[in-house]
Amino acid sequence: MADSPSQFTPAELERWQFGLSQANLNNILCHCRDCDATWVDSSDEAPCACGSHRVEHIPCWQFPDG
């Protein structure tokens, strides 16, 4: 499958990717698959307080405000 042409110029794509990385700072929703705890963290590598490393990490920008 061939890549489709980008809708962005290289500079626009870089700005968009930078904006996403900024939105992720301090805004990673973490969900422990072992104890079902949820929390927001700035790291996508944070283990759960229960000690589990089976943690799902979801960038909060993916959730709509409201």
Q: Where are the domains of the chain?
A: 27-66
Q: Are 42 and 26 in contact (CB under 8 A)?
A: yes
Strands 55-59 and 38-41, bridge-based pairing: unpaired
Tens of pLDDT along the chain (66 residues) come to 456 677 889 999 999 888 877 776 768 889 999 999 999 888 778 799 999 999 998 887 666 665
- 23, two tokens: 């939105």
CA quadruple 6, 58, 26, 45: dihedral, nearest 10: -110
Residue owning tokens 């072992």: 34
